[in-house]
């Protein structure tokens, strides 16, 4: 039996108009946006469909918005291909909550509440501790270690063998950007983000999120959900899932290891459900032989 992996994007994938065509064409998809608006107390559909991008990019809007848009893509895919059953699922950063919901770990309303709070807490941490992120391309592990040691930055996203994102205070990222060429690193690109995500500057957000998660009911996953923190599946213990999802806010995202684990367990294809094609691109960099498809709009289903 073929094994398929289902992937969900995180913050940064947001784009004005995401989910609109699915909501206009499929009542089940429209219902997701309507329910989200009722839970959140504001018109999430209008923000996702009409923007402006400055409003959609606010973390407390982007994270629940990408979640609902991604679930609309998954809902549409299941309507078109009811026999499609993934063997594994994973999500990048906030997208891991989408994967947990899809696997039956957390309900729709609770996922929305968690992501709205997570985004809000991260915004507050960014204001309190200004930071930045730098995408480093073509560096080996020794060069990355040297760059981080010299600048004070931290490894945030281990995306592929070729690309790692580092994170930290603005001064640290300024220093890392200036040092990269001297260390022999091929390319370093400053990211347009609000702060130092997946670094210790996000610990206040993680601590606040832990308080929210105490009142949220979690269940064992129906299929393996690969953890960003470990690059391996969550176990069946809700307490362990809760602990890792708190740590995930300030820990490195082990995306490369996550994809390699799924391939090692027999994943023969990958489907990214949600706006953008970042994860599809990363899978292709990690393993050029694995078939990858993206479901982000109605036209992708045809």
- Read off the pLDDT of residues 214-234 as tens digits, 9 standing for 90 and up: 999 999 999 999 999 999 999
The Cα–Cα gap between 290 and 8 comes to 17
Provide mean pLDDT across the span 163-180. 96
pLDDT beyond 90 at 166: yes
pLDDT for residue 131? 96
Strand 163-169 vs strand 154-158: parallel, antiparallel, or unpaired?
antiparallel
Contact residues for 12 (Cβ-Cβ < 8 A; gap 6+)? 193, 276, 278
pLDDT for residue 302? 79
Angle (nearest 5°) at CA 78 between 76 and 84: 145
Domains of the chain are 3-127+199-301 (3.40.366.10), 130-190 (3.30.70.250)
Provide mean pLDDT across the span 84-95. 97
Local confidence band at 243 (pLDDT 50, 70, 90 cut-offs): very high
pLDDT for residue 265? 96
Average pLDDT value for the chain: 96
Q: For a pLDDT cut of 90, what percent of the chain falls above it?
A: 97
Provide mean pLDDT across the span 263-277. 96
pLDDT beyond 70 at 107: yes
Provide mean pLDDT across the span 63-87. 97
Model's pTM, two decimal places?
A: 0.96
Provide mean pLDDT across the span 60-78. 97
pLDDT beyond 90 at 193: no
The Cα–Cα gap between 228 and 155 comes to 13
Count of CB atoms situated within 10 Å of the CB of 1: 7
pLDDT beyond 70 at 181: yes
pLDDT for residue 212? 97
Local confidence band at 1 (pLDDT 50, 70, 90 cut-offs): low
Contact residues for 176 (Cβ-Cβ < 8 A; gap 6+)? 134, 136, 147, 148, 150, 151, 153, 166, 168, 188
Angle (nearest 5°) at CA 91 between 130 and 94: 35
DSSP 265: T
Provide mean pLDDT across the span 69-73. 98
Lowest mean pLDDT among 105-109, 157-161, 162-166, 190-194: 190-194
**Residue 111 region, left (φ>0) first, then alpha (ψ -120 to 50), else beta?**
alpha
User: Which residue numbers are catalytic?
Assistant: 93, 198
Provide mean pLDDT across the span 3-29. 96
- Read off the pLDDT of residues 48-61 as tens digits, 9 standing for 90 and up: 999 999 999 999 99
Q: Is 7 helix (H, G, I), strand (E, B) or coil?
A: strand
pLDDT for residue 177? 96
Local confidence band at 194 (pLDDT 50, 70, 90 cut-offs): confident
């Amino acid at each position: 039996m073929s094994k398929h992996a289902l992937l969900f994007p995180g913050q940064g994938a947001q784009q004005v108009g995401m989910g609109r065509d699915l909501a206009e064409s499929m009542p089940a998809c429209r219902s997701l946006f309507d329910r989200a608006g009722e839970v959140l107390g504001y018109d999430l559909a209008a923000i996702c469909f009409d923007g402006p991008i400055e409003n959609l990019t606010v973390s407390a809007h982007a994270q629940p918005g990408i979640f609902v848009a991604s679930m609309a893509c998954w809902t549409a895919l299941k309507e078109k291909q009811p026999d499609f059953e993934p063997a594994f699922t994973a999500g990048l950063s906030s997208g891991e909550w989408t994967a947990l919901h899809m696997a039956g770990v957390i309900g729709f309303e609770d996922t929305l509440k968690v992501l709205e709070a997570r985004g809000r807490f991260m915004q507050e941490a960014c204001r309190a501790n200004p930071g930045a992120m730098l995408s480093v391309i073509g560096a080996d592990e020794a060069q990355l270690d040297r760059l981080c040691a010299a600048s004070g930055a931290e490894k945030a996203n281990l995306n592929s063998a070729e690309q790692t994102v580092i994170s930290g205070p603005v001064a640290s990222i300024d220093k890392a950007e200036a040092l990269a060429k001297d260390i022999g690193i091929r390319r370093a690109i400053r990211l347009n983000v609000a702060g130092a995500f997946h670094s210790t500057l996000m610990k206040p957000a993680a601590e606040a999120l832990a308080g929210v998660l105490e009142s949220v009911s979690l269940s064992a996953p129906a299929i393996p959900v690969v953890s960003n923190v470990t690059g391996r599946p969550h176990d069946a213990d809700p307490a362990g899932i809760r602990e890792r999802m708190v740590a995930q806010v300030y820990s490195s995202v082990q995306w490369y290891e996550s994809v390699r684990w799924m391939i090692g367990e027999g994943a023969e294809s990958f489907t990214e459900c949600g706006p953008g094609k970042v994860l599809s691109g990363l899978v292709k960099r990690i393993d050029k032989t694995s078939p990858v498809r993206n479901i982000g709009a109605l036209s992708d289903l045809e």
